[in-house]
Structure 1
């Protein structure tokens, strides 16, 4: 099946990469998707998704491409170093993150510029693969909310489930691509930030926006999994959860 037409102009390298990967992703996943109509067709927006596996990037990209949008990830700078991979990453407009260096803030500046150009920027607001024992979303970091408030773009909540069956976090070194695994992705309406957009961007404002975002992602995931999330959201600070032990698979 040919890939869907894009609703935006993208880099030639990115177009070739999408064309090459689309049929592969069609083969290795059985897809249950909902909320494609909530993905903005034009203009910049932040796509914020829960994070349960190192394989999340590909099904999330697949979902967004199906909606006609090309995702731009904030990715660790080491991925921009190997020859060949470096050219693909830059050629696809991905954004390097220089953690723990004086250049760490450059990623947010680059993300803002991409959003202002009308791009889709993908962020995992938890900042890492969840440590919650049953893989529910943890407390979120404020970067996604900050980008949305500083640029005025929509903040789109997305929930994903099933990628652990392709690559279990912190255990599997290589993905199990066949047989095809069920991957469920659901996008909700953009988070309502209207009452916050004219306010100063303070720690309180960012935390309010982030709480709304994580509430919506968690609600979407409850619908996908068919069970309620814990009443209290997991905060990794002060916990020593072991994600390799697994948890419920519902």
Structure 2
């Protein structure tokens, strides 16, 4: 109930006013049944504008810190993220990947839409970074199609480090479902999973027109949470 109240009453009108969003390729999202959505990740509001523009409910995997913050703020945060379809996962320790896979399978087994950000974190500079293999493994183990989605403009309305939104134009581009049934029975093979992950990132690059950087975005983070430029890490021309 709260999901749709947020979408159509509490947040939706303001999001539409600020972002004037439009969606292209909505017919590529199945009207029923389970599927994985692979999206680029430019800003926090990606997780708001995508559900706003898709008719069906979308579930996301979110870091467990959003659900464990103490105090009144923490309780509100936990309620908000739970109500808006976020599923907590522990990203630390050896069992983190298994926990994410289990949580994701639960959504898919129920016939839901599950969105993952293959980059694992927000892009620090608007470019598309190397995808992790968790989504690829989930696609191979469950047999679900992967629907690529490119979020365009969300980095301008909500740049990293800003609080107040900056009105702009948001576009959500949905690509054709990707079928990986040719790799049936090969889940767990790291070379196959890497190939699937790279194929998904290539589809996102073509769909959204982002420049691709062949390193993990998380590797650019400094100890203080800021980012090192990709050129500093890889050398000129490596992107």
**TM band (smaller chain):** 0.7 to 0.9
Q: Is residue 74 of structure 1 aligned with residue 65 of structure 2?
A: no
Q: Is the 8 A contact 2:140 2:181 kept in 1?
A: no
| Cα displacement string for residues 128-177 of structure 1 (whole angstroms, at most 9, x for unaligned residues) | 1124x5x22111001111111111111110111111221212x31x1325
Cα distance in 2 between the residues matched to 1:56 and 1:200: 29
Cα distance in 1 between the residues matched to 2:94 and 2:187: 26
1:74 CA drift (Å)? 0.8
* Cα distance change, pair 200–85 in 1 and its aligned pair in 2 (3 A): closer
Cα distance in 2 between the residues matched to 1:151 and 1:45: 10
Q: How does 1:123-162 map to 2 (within 5 A)?
A: 123-131=116-124, 133=125, 135-162=126-153
Q: Is the 8 A contact 2:20 2:168 kept in 1?
A: yes
* Cα distance change, pair 210–176 in 1 and its aligned pair in 2 (3 A): same
TM (normalized to structure 1)?
Answer: 0.78
Q: Is the 8 A contact 1:48 1:158 kept in 2?
A: yes
Q: How does 1:83-98 map to 2 (within 5 A)?
A: 83-98=75-90
Q: How does 1:173-192 map to 2 (within 5 A)?
A: 174-177=163-166, 180-192=167-179
Cα distance in 2 between the residues matched to 1:103 and 1:158: 28
Q: Count the aligned residue pairs.
A: 216
Q: Is the 8 A contact 1:46 1:121 kept in 2?
A: yes
Match of 1:24 in 2: 14
Q: Is residue 39 of structure 1 aligned with residue 29 of structure 2?
A: yes
SS of the counterpart of 2:27? helix
* Cα distance change, pair 15–176 in 1 and its aligned pair in 2 (3 A): closer
Q: Is residue 58 of structure 1 aligned with residue 51 of structure 2?
A: no
SS of the counterpart of 2:171? strand
TM (normalized to structure 2)?
Answer: 0.81
Stretch of structure 1 that moved more, 191-200 or 213-222: 191-200
State the Cα RMSD in Å.
2.3
Q: Is the 8 A contact 2:148 2:200 kept in 1?
A: yes
Q: Whose helix fraction is larger, Structure 1's or Structure 2's? A: 2
Q: How does 1:209-228 map to 2 (within 5 A)?
A: 209-222=196-209
